[in-house]
Structures are given as structure tokens and as C-alpha cells.
Amino acid sequence: MKSVLQFIFWLLVAFVALFLAIVLGERGAWYLAWVLGTVMIILIAVAGTVMLDARYEDDPLE
């Protein structure tokens, strides 16, 4: 049950993000958005993956 609620919570967060982006981006500067967005996606994915290894290093069992 807890995880269902959490899923719904994150779904709601995603919808809020969608809504904000839509309101902000009616005829937006999309080329710039693409550059910034791509850089952001890569950085977050890299950081999240590096974190995964960092966690294993802290964990003596691994």
C-alpha cells in the first residue's frame, strides 16, 4: 500500500512538472531548451550512476 501511495505521489510530481513546462513553453526557445535539457539529463544520469558505485564502496559486503 505504501509503495502504491508513493508511486501515486511521484506520478503527481511528474504531472506538476509537465504542467509547469507546458505553461512556460508555449512558443519557447526550444533549441536552447534541447541543449540545456540534454546536458542536464546526461549530468543527472552520470551522477546517479556514480552514486551507485559510491554506495557499494561504503558497503563492506560488496
Site residues for another protein per CB under 8 A: 6-7, 10-11, 14, 17-18, 21-23, 25-31, 33-34, 37-38, 40-42, 44-46, 48-50, 52-53, 55
Distances (CA, A) of 39 to 11, 21, 44, 48: 24, 17, 9, 14
Contact (CB, 8 A) for 62 and 56: yes
Q: Which is nearer to another protein, 1 or 27 (CB)?
A: 27
How far is Cα 23 from Cα 21, in angstroms, rounded to an integer? 6
Minimal distance in Å, beta carbon 25 to another protein? 6
Minimal distance in Å, beta carbon 60 to another protein? 15
